[in-house]
Structure 1
Amino acid sequence: MPGTPPMPPSTAEISLRRVAANGIDINVAIAGNGPAVLLLHGFPHTWRLWTEVIAGLAPHHRVIAPDLRGLGATTKAADGYDAGTLATDAEELLTALGEPSAAVVGIDAGAPPAFLFAMRHPARVRRLVLMESALGRLPGAEDFFAGGPPWWFGFHAVPGLAETVLTGHETEYIDWFLTAGTRGRGVPREIRDAFVDAYTGRDALRCAFSYYRAAPAGARQIQDAADSHRLTVPTMAVGAHPVGTALERQLRPIADDLTGYLIEDCGHIIPLDRPRALLPPLTSFLAPDRHT
């Protein structure tokens, strides 16, 4: 792609709302006007992961960036952290906001629910973008998992263990992920502090780790969806380090319309590590929405 346009100012007019959907109150950042784009973050993030992306998309889209179930300022629910329930959260959030459809973008833990939303309700998902995640055990990610899952998957999955060990040490723990996820470059201090605050306290950690504890259920839901029908929504798989092209390879056999995009020299937290490299392919892929 020729040249990289200058970054737009990261001062999009953002309003924060609390929206009742699927039995919880979802904290959601909203900016811009136009066809809706729903942004689903992962761990250890909040909606602020998308700060630069919101600025880039808001001139042409209504950008909707929630804190996922249990994370940030959204209800710290007792359960419902499987990908299927999270997909319903997303669907009902759009309904509550009066949006019949949206382009849906998911990264990390936000990618499986984005995928299931598109599989279950393709009429409501105009375009799908999935980044830096694996979709359960669908074929194609064998190389990524060759040495076993990342070490923290097992640590987080043991009920009660990680929150007991980490309470009081949240800052150091979150900093490790933010440093590793940007290949040592780090994230803006304001955003880093917001993430640390969001994941401080035993109940906040319990909610975060519930995503990992519900992963087997999500993997079954993903497999069931892939076994029963194809992904018909135009989709882009965006990889960086460490997932690379594994997600694209998982999607290739089941997707009717798939674009793969790999961002070089970029860590896992793409929207914060290399937003200048992400925005051109993202805005280009979403551009048809401007005319729908």
Structure 2
Amino acid sequence: MTATSTHLVPGVELRRVPVGDVTLNVALAGNGPAVLLLHGFPHTWRLWSRVIGPLAARHRVIAPDLRGFGASDRPTDGYDAATLAGDAEQLLAALGETSASVVAIDAGVPGAFLLALGRPALVRRLVLMESLLGTLPGAEGFLAHGAPWWFGFHAVPGLAESVLTGNEERYIGWFLDAGTLGDGVPDDIRADFVAACTGGEALRSAFSYYRALPESDRQLHRATATGRLTMPVMAVGAHPVGDTLSRQLAPLTDDLTSHQLEDCGHIVPLHRPRALLDLVVPFLGAEAEPAADR
């Protein structure tokens, strides 16, 4: 592992960390019990920019660009939930961590869930937000009229990237605006997300998560047929997922706490960071310094 640079977020160090068949770009900050942050689409580690500082006051924060995103490698495969869980496990090992709390959103959630299910001694606490666990029971209401339109568009191999190349800023911008209920995200973070999804290869790897959804769903059903989560789990819902994730988790957990954030879009860590910290910091068992909210 070699340090490559610091970043605009104070106290953050970026490293390139070899993890199995890929090398991940990883943001690191703070000291203490490890907290692993897993982003979704169309994000990079900078999704967590507004919460890293307060978390790092008491924790070692580990925030990678997931495989295929940002400055991490873009392999041709490995975008299913089980492989993502393996990436997370190997990343913690590479950084010398024997346990961590895990916080995940959107595309990061299924992998985080499988990691906790398969390696309960590794995951101390689990926070999951704004995602579905495939077609596990509890999602029937959300999926009554089918998945959101972009799921099908992104799932067709080669289609979306061929249509969108050259129009990435407008397309990714739509998700950032919709995910903050029209408030938008800071210009520098917006530019970072757009850059991370610009070009045919970047789009292909980002959309590969959607193309792996059928395999991820099979993995989730197999894993939950005999397993359940034993560590404390928190589900956080906003718009549009709401309480769907909580409904899916309820029959699979021994210790579940659920929260719904009002007036909050899908991109919770950027849209309502203070509200998220007010939930997560006590749950992780530490106090954080005040953080600015919108």
Report the TM-score, using the length of structure 2 for normalisation. 0.94
Aligned equivalent of 1:167: 165
1:243 to 241, 250, 261: 241
Aligned equivalent of 1:58: 56
Cα deviation, residue 229, structure 1:
1.2
RMSD value over aligned CA atoms? 1.3
Aligned equivalent of 1:156: 154
Q: Quote the sequence identity (%).
A: 65
Superposed CA offset, 1:63-98 (max 9, x none):
000000111000011100000001000000000000
Counterparts of 1:92 and 1:206 in 2: how far apart (Å)?
24
Report the TM-score, using the length of structure 1 for normalisation. 0.95
Aligned equivalent of 1:5: none
Preserved CA contact (<8 Å) 1:35 1:289: no
Aligned equivalent of 1:185: 183
Helix, strand or coil for the counterpart of 1:123?
A: coil
**One-letter code aligned to 1:199:** C
Cα deviation, residue 23, structure 1:
1.3
Aligned equivalent of 1:213: 211
The answer for unaligned runs of 5 or more in structure 1 is 1-9
Counterparts of 2:287 and 2:109 in 1: how far apart (Å)?
20
Aligned equivalent of 2:279: 281
**Structure 1's 289 and 234: CA in aligned 2 closer, same or farther, altered over 3 A?**
farther
Superposed CA offset, 1:248-284 (max 9, x none):
0000011001000111000000001111111111101
Counterparts of 1:157 and 1:129 in 2: how far apart (Å)?
27
Counterparts of 1:278 and 1:194 in 2: how far apart (Å)?
22
**Structure 1's 11 and 26: CA in aligned 2 closer, same or farther, altered over 3 A?**
closer
Superposed CA offset, 1:13-39 (max 9, x none):
000000001211000000000000000
2:31 to 30, 33, 54: 33
Runs of 4+ in 1 over 6 A off after TM superposition: none
Aligned equivalent of 1:134: 132
Preserved CA contact (<8 Å) 1:126 1:289: no
Preserved CA contact (<8 Å) 1:39 1:105: yes
Aligned equivalent of 1:18: 16
Cα deviation, residue 12, structure 1:
3.6
Counterparts of 1:176 and 1:145 in 2: how far apart (Å)?
22
**One-letter code aligned to 2:81:** A
**Structure 1's 289 and 256: CA in aligned 2 closer, same or farther, altered over 3 A?**
farther
Counterparts of 1:140 and 1:199 in 2: how far apart (Å)?
32
Cα deviation, residue 146, structure 1:
1.3
Preserved CA contact (<8 Å) 1:141 1:249: yes
Aligned equivalent of 1:264: 262
**One-letter code aligned to 2:70:** G
Cα deviation, residue 289, structure 1:
11
Superposed CA offset, 1:169-201 (max 9, x none):
000000000000000000000000000001000
The answer for unaligned runs of 5 or more in structure 2 is 1-7, 289-294
Aligned equivalent of 2:106: 108
